[in-house]
Amino acid sequence: MDTATQDKLELPSLAGIERAHEQLAPYMDDTPLVRCELLSRALEADVWIKNETVTPIASFKLRGALTHLLRAKDLRGAVTSSTGNHGQGVAYGARMLNVPSHIFLPEVNNPVKRAMIRAFGATLHEVGIDIDAAKEAARNFAVENDMEFIDDGESLDMMEGAGTTGLECARKLDNIDWFFVPMGAATLFTGAAAAVKALQPDCKCVAVQAKGAPAMVESFHARKSVQAAIDTVADGLACRIPAERALQGLIALGDDAMTVSDDAMLAAIRTIAECAHVLVEPAGAAALAGAWQRRDAIRGKRVVLLLTGANLPRDVLQKALAGEPLFTLEEAAVAGG
């Protein structure tokens, strides 16, 4: 990582991430980081899972949203666009701080996430064909109503809040060799990688995106913004137009960026449920799908998989459980012995 480049691009700093962790402490506890025996055997590596499904919104997104809101000046209300989890984070955070919130979702959206946003007291707007169309409407609404717009992808405060996931991993577990992070807009990746790289600079940080929404991965390899259409079951990884700050962070901090198929993520959902006893949505399973694809490279290494969320519709869960896992329990039990 080039420190001079990081400062120039105003990417998350270790000091900023540590301050975010202190600010979040009164509102949420550290999430579990535990070693998984069956995943370790199957991957022939020392595999740990960082479980973000146990937050009040069953996703890591509360970290960044609440950090942004806590740092905002003269907060009169909160507005954002989202495929769902970020919207939950903003809605929940705004309720905690007793301000109104308006969440803009694409017209086709995740019913579980939509219901939770409503339950947290937000006003819901369903606009546009995808997250980027919803973002334009949300930004205009925020300006017209003098409310705070929380941009998932451009907000430095959000990145530093999300980066507390990496901070907790690097503080608790020494000598991490590989860190696999699901990626939509790369807010989480940029923050988490900044923390891990600051404390454990030899760790390889890999961003994992859906093959059906590859804009950030293609942009990483092209070293410039590349737009791409969205067609994936992983709504949490949807991104058509890369955000500039997040893309700069991905390029500056990422050791690699890769895509995984919907089938691989669905198989990983079942595998995680059986081997780690954790329920995740497709985006939350992307880290394992990526690690499985890179299993030759990570053999014998210490690996952290970030499980980002668990807000999945029933039909997606049923499809995942009806399909084949990445490997069977019996195969995992006898492997690596």
Instruction: Find where tokens 């989480």 sit.
Output: 188
Which has the closest alpha carbon to 134: 210, 250, 262, 239?
239
> DSSP code of 91?
H
Domains 3-59+157-334 and 61-155 share a fold: yes
Secondary structure of residue 118 in the 3-state scheme: helix
**Other Cβ atoms closer than 10 A to 324:** 11
Q: Give CA–CA dist 201/199, Å, rounded.
A: 6
Length of the chain: 337
For the chain, domain boundaries = 3-59+157-334, 61-155
Cβ proximity of 106 and 134 under 8 Å: yes
Supply the mean pLDDT for the chain: 94
For 3-59+157-334, CATH number out of 3.40.50.10490, 3.40.50.1100, 3.30.750.200, 2.10.10.100 equals: 3.40.50.1100
Which of the two residues, 131 and 177, has the higher pLDDT score? 177
- Could you tell me which residues come within 8 angstroms of residue 185 by beta carbon, excluding any fewer than 6 positions away? 152, 153, 216, 239, 242, 243, 246
Q: What is the pLDDT of residues 232-283, one digit of tens each?
A: 999 999 889 999 999 999 999 999 999 999 999 999 999 999 999 999 999 9
What's the topology of domain 61-155? Rossmann fold (3.40.50)
Cβ proximity of 239 and 207 under 8 Å: no
The residue type found at 121 is G
Burial 211-224 (b: 16+ CB within 10 A, else e): bbbbbbbbbbeeee
- For 229-256, the DSSP string reads ----S-GGG--SS--HHHHHHHHHH-SE
* Phi/psi of residue 258, nearest 5 degrees: -140, 165
- Global pTM exceeds 0.85: yes
Q: What is the pLDDT of residues 97-146, one digit of tens each?
A: 999 999 999 999 999 999 999 999 999 999 988 888 899 999 999 999 99
Element (H, E) at 34: strand 33-35
Mean pLDDT over 203-222 rounds to: 98
Q: Give CA–CA dist 299/309, Å, rounded.
A: 26
Q: What is the pLDDT of residues 33-60, one digit of tens each?
A: 999 999 999 999 999 999 999 999 999 9
Q: Pairing relation of β-strands 46-51 and 33-35?
A: antiparallel
Q: What is the pLDDT of residues 66-94, one digit of tens each?
A: 999 999 999 999 999 998 899 999 999 99
